[in-house]
Structure 1
Amino acid sequence: MTDYSRPALNLERIRKFVVVAEELHFGRAAERLHIAQPVLSRQIRALEDELKVRLFARDRRRTELTAAGEQLLADARPLLASAQALRLRVGRAARGQHSFTVGFMPGLIVTAAVRALSDRHPELTVNVVRTSWHDQIEVVHDGRVDVSYIRLPVDQSGLTVRPLLTEPRVAVLPADHRLAGKESIAVADLADEHLLQDPDAVPEWRDIATELRDGTRAQVGAFHAVEEKLEHVASGRGVTVLPLSTATFYTRPDIVHVPVRDIPPNQVCLAWEAGRRSRLIQEFAAIAESC
C-alpha cells in the first residue's frame, strides 16, 4: 500500500545533488548553479535529512560519494530526465501543438517512414532530430523526441526497443593505410590502432586491445561527431569502426572502408519511453518495420 503521508522527493534538491556529484567540489558546483556555496551545502544537508542517509564523504582535501550517493546518482539522472520529458509533453499539450518528433543516427534514412506518417495525418507536424552515439537515448528520456532510431548497444532501462534491421560494420581507414585494399580484415588487425570512438561502441575491439602485448593500454580518442572522426582518420590519427550505411554516406577520396569479418552486424532499433501508450508511436513503429 502506498504511503501518501511521506513527502515527495524534492527534484530541485536532486538536481543540485547531481551537479555536486559531477564536480565533487561544492565551490565549483555552486558556481555552475549560480548560488552561494553555503546555500548549496544547506540544500544537500536537507536532502540527506530527507533520505536519512549520508551522500558525500568530505574532508579538507576532497569530496567523495558514499555508496548511497553513488546509488542516488545512478537513479537521479533518469528521474530528472523523465520529469523534464513530462514537462515538455504537458506543455505541448497545453499549447495545443500537434507534432511528432523522430530521432535518427547518422547514415540512417528515415524519410520514407516520416513521409508515410505525414501522409496519414496531414494535420500532424512531423519533425526529425539528428542524434549521435552519446545522446541517442538521452533525447528519448528527456522528451526531445517521441521515438528514436538507435544503434545498439545502449542501456535499455526504461525503454521499449523494437528491432528493425541489421547491417555490417566496417573499419574506416586512411587511404594509404597498410590494411586499405584488403577484401576483409579481422578485428585483431586493429588491436594496436588508435580508436577514434567510445570503445563501448566496439566491445570486440576493446576486449582484444585493452591490454597490448607490452602491457600498455590501447589508445582511444573519443570524438562525438562522425565528421570529426573522419577528419582524424583522413589525417592518419587513427581508425574508426562504423556501420556500413554510415561509412558509405560519408564517402570521400582520402579514406576507405574495409569489412570486419569477425564482429557481429550492427543492430538498428526503434526506441521510445516504456511508459508511453501513444497511438501515434505504435503506428509509427509499424510503419518503420515495413519501410
Structure 2
Amino acid sequence: MNFGRAATRLLIAGPSLSQQIKALERDLRVQLFLRDRRSVALTPIGASLLPHVRALLERAEDLRRRAARLSGSEPVRIGYVNWLPMDLTARTAGIAQLYIDPWVVPSHAQAARVVDGSLDLAVCWVRTTDLAEHQLWARLLGADRLYGVSTARDATAVEARDVTVLVDDDTAYWSSWNLFAEELARDTGAHILRIDDGGITGPAFYDHVRALGRPVLNSPKDQGTTLPPDLVRRPVIDPAVIWTWSLVGRRDEVRPVVLAAADALTHEVGDLGIHDPGTWLPEDDPHR
C-alpha cells in the first residue's frame, strides 16, 4: 500500500491525502492505518471497515449515475395516441427530460413500440390480456366519459342501449376502438353500425350521425372537439361509458430515470371517477 501512488490516482498531492486520512481517523475516533517510513498497512479495524467503505463507494457511484439520468441527460421517450395531460412536462420537471415522440399511431401500435424498445413509455388504451402477453405494466393516467352525438335539439341524457357505436372494417388502425365498441354493444345492447370509411372521427363521423338520426357514441379521439352547430352532445347513462388512458411501460424496465418519470406522471392521479356507481369499463380493462 502506497499513499504516493494513491494520491497520483486521485489527482491530488500526497500531503493532502495524508491530511484527509488523518481527519477521517479523527472523525471516526479509530486508527485506520499503520505507518512507518517504509510502508503503510491497514489496522485490524481498518481491514474490518474496508468492505463497508467499498459498498459506500459503490452506492455513491450509483447515486452519481442516477443524478445524471434524472437531471435530464437521458431523455425518456414517450408516445401517445391523441391525449396527453396538459401539465405533462410540469409533472416531470427536475426529474426527467421527456421526449414526446411525434409519431402518433393507434393504441395497440404504441403499446407494441414500448415492447420493441422504440419507446420507453406510452399513453394508450390497453387490455389486461395485452399486458400479460407482452410483459407490460399499466397505470391509470386519464379517463374520458364518452357521450352521444345527435341531430336532435334535445341535449338530455340518453341510455347506452339507445346509442349506436361505429365499428370500422380497417382493423389495422381501429383495432382498439373496435374491441371496445363491440364489447360495449354486447354488454348494454347498443346498436353496432359497421362502416368502411374511417368515419369513427371527423367529418365522416358527423355525416353518419346526420344519416342515422339517432345518437352515435363519440370516440376518445374527438373528445375535446367542438361539434358542428347542427349537432348536440348528449350524456350517456345507464351506464356511463368510460375509456381509460394508461401509462404503459415494460415490466423489465430498470432504468431509474424511466421509473422516476412514470412515478411522477401518475402521482396522485386517483381513480378519476371510473369506479363511480353506474359506470362501464370493458371486462379486460386493467383499471376495472
Q: Normalization by structure 2: what TM-score?
A: 0.51
Counterpart position of 1:260: 236
SS of match in other structure, 2:264: helix
Partner residue in 2 for 1:234: 206
Amino acid in structure 1 at the alignment position of 2:117 = G
Aligned to 2:159: 186
Deviation at 1:182, TM superposition (A): 3.0
Residue number in structure 1 paired with 2:184: 204
Q: How far apart, in 1, do the equivalents of 2:94 and 2:149 lie?
A: 38
Q: Which SS does the other structure have where 1:277 is aligned? A: coil
Cα deviation for residue 205 of structure 1 reads 1.9
Q: CA deviation at 1:194?
A: 4.6
Does residue 89 of structure 2 align to residue 110 of structure 1?
A: no
Distance 1:288 1:209, change over 3 A: same
Runs (5+) with no aligned partner, structure 1: 1-96, 213-217
Deviation string for 1:158-215 (max 9, x for gaps)?
1111123433121234xx2x4x633211121125x654564312221244558x7xxx
Q: Deviations over 1:217-244 (max 9, x none)?
A: x4323676x8x6222122236644334x
**SS of structure 2 residue aligned to 1:260:** strand
Shift in CA distance, 118/134, structure 1 to aligned 2, threshold 3 Å: same
**Equivalent in the alignment of 1:13:** none
The 2-side partners of 1:185 and 1:152 are apart by: 27
Instruction: Please tell me whether the aligned partners of residues 223 and 229 of structure 1 are also in contact (alpha carbons under 8 angstroms).
Output: no
Counterpart check, 1:168 vs 2:145: yes
1:250: which partner in 2?
A: 225
Are the counterparts in 2 of residues 159 and 272 from structure 1 also a CA contact under 8 Å?
yes
Alpha-carbon distance, 1:260 to partner? 1.3
2:256 is equivalent to residue 279 of structure 1: yes
SS in structure 1 at match of 2:88: helix
Task: Provide the rounded CA distance (Å) in 1 between the counterparts of 2:253 and 2:110.
Answer: 18
Aligned residues: 177
Structure 1 residue 273, shift from structure 2 partner: 1.3
Please, what is the CA RMSD of the aligned residues?
A: 3.3
| Deviation sequence 1:15-40 (CA, Å, 0-9, x none) | xxxxxxxxxxxxxxxxxxxxxxxxxx
Contiguous gaps of at least 5 residues in structure 2: 1-72, 169-173, 270-288
Percent of matched pairs sharing the same residue? 14
Deviation at 1:133, TM superposition (A): 3.5
* CA pair 133-143 structure 1, distance change in 2 beyond 3 A: same
Which structure is larger by alpha-carbon Rg, 1 or 2? 2
Counterpart in 2 of 1:151?
A: 125
Is contact 1:152-1:266 (8 Å) kept? no
Q: Distance in 2 between matches of 1:230 and 1:144?
A: 29
Provide Cα deviations, 1:52-83, integer angstroms capped at 9, x if missing partner: xxxxxxxxxxxxxxxxxxxxxxxxxxxxxxxx
Task: Give the Cα separation in 2 of the matches to 1:201 and 1:267.
Answer: 11
TM-score by length of 1: 0.50
Find the aligned partners of 1:151 and 1:143 in 2 and give their Cα distance. 18
Output one character per residue of 1:128-185: Cα deviation in whole Å (capped at 9) or x when no partner: 3433244231221222211111224462221111123433121234xx2x4x633211
- 2:196 & 2:265 partners in 1: Cα distance? 31
Partner of 1:141: 115
